[in-house]
Structure 1
Amino acid sequence: MKKMVSAVLGLAMGLGAVAAHAQDDKNAERLNNSANVLQEIMATPDKGIPQSILSGAYCVVVIPAYKKGAFIVGAQYGKGAATCRTPTGWSAPVMVKLAGGSFGWQIGGQSTDLVLVAMNEHGLQHMLGAKFKLGADAAASAGPVGRNAQAGTDWKLNSEFLTYSRSKGLFAGINLDGTVLDADDDDMRAEYGANLPFKQVLAGKTPVPANAQRFVRTTAKYFVISKINH
């Protein structure tokens, strides 16, 4: 009997280790895809996030495209990562999920990349709180695109977040009102070994994991470039 119990416990521990490793791989892929999205968008300045916006960003959230089976029927759902600016650089990422709304993650069967940019202290505070609804808890607007973010809009004054989408090679601002950005607790535990508070991670009090360094460096790179050129 003792041998059977030991065997069952050993199998359970083994399966747990396999599951944890698989989740680590998913996080690494998500973080790498998030870096790719930023890099590809900013590689075309005339069609990317304006430097005047990125140079003033407090936080950047990227929800990269997902593979088959990643969408829930009747709802919109995606996972990604976020990093915030601190006095010593950009923070380690937090793992997030975005759900709700009928904005259409799929156009003609193709998934959509999303980018959210926190533009002021209020946006940062919402990020530190880990969960909020765009358009209700946090004011959000479809962001302008291109080299010049000239204003026929009031985003500079009123928007805590500017929101963007990319699908089929097209990049544009998008209305995400009604969607909820929330902590992805399971992925946070897989990434850091514990469900760390957003405030601790985004304040720069947690070292950047190895699998997240490219995402954080890519964000920092385009922030610095935008600062220099703006």
Structure 2
Amino acid sequence: MKKIFLFLAILSLALTKAGAAEQDTVNHCAAIIREFRQIPERAIPRDVLRHARGLAIMSVFKAGFIFSGKGGQGVVVARTRHGWSGPSFIATGGAGWGLQIGAQVTDFVIVLNNDAAVRAFSRGGNVTIGGDVSAAAGPVGRTAEG
């Protein structure tokens, strides 16, 4: 009985810590959206947001010296009949090599224009090898290399 109680106590502490980490991710993504809205040249046009079926918001850290690694996390939210859904958590990671040195953090807001795009971002287990992605957020474009 004591072992079960101890196990449940440890599990609840772990879940509480996980919940705090998820809340930190949500708070960071909300800050990204606020930042994008406050800088006119980075703002997503209202008409684009009005027709969006969802948004993927994430922050990606990349560092390397010849070999590189990158990782990031964020959320996907979908438009519902009553507003926006709660967040679905997403993550990305990768490795590379080549002539490179340095570190950078890039914030992304990806506008999802149809339900299939929302499902693709919400589904787990996708792998891309050697992929490139380009995205435009309002009048300013953003590029990410995989």
TM-score, scaled to structure 2? 0.72
Whole-angstrom distance in 2 between the partners of 1:85 and 1:28 = 20
SS at match of 1:142: strand
Q: Is the 8 A contact 2:76 2:122 kept in 1?
A: no
Aligned counterpart, 2:30: 35
Greater RCO (Cα-Cα under 8 Å, separation 6 or more):
1
Count of aligned pairs between the two proteins? 138
Among candidates 128, 135, 141, match of residue 142 of structure 1: 135
Aligned counterpart, 1:13: 8
Aligned counterpart, 1:23: 18
Aligned counterpart, 1:158: none
Shift of 1:141: 3.6
Aligned counterpart, 1:98: 92
Question: CA 1:16 to 1:129, structure 2 compared with 1: closer, same or farther past 3 Å?
Answer: closer
Whole-angstrom distance in 2 between the partners of 1:145 and 1:108 = 28
SS at match of 1:92: coil
Shift of 1:40: 0.8
Aligned counterpart, 1:53: 48
Question: CA 1:53 to 1:15, structure 2 compared with 1: closer, same or farther past 3 Å?
Answer: same
Whole-angstrom distance in 1 between the partners of 2:49 and 2:95 = 26
Unaligned runs of 5+ in 1: 1-5, 147-170, 179-230
Q: Which moved more, 1:119-128 or 1:42-51?
A: 119-128
SS at match of 2:30: helix
Whole-angstrom distance in 2 between the partners of 1:11 and 1:46 = 54
CA deviations over 1:144-172 (Å, ceiling 9, x no partner): 533xxxxxxxxxxxxxxxxxxxxxxxx74
Query: 1 or 2, which has the higher strand percentage?
Result: 2
Aligned counterpart, 1:113: 107
Question: CA 1:14 to 1:65, structure 2 compared with 1: closer, same or farther past 3 Å?
Answer: same
Q: Is the 8 A contact 2:54 2:79 kept in 1?
A: yes
Cα RMSD over matched residues?
3.4
Identity of aligned residues (%): 22
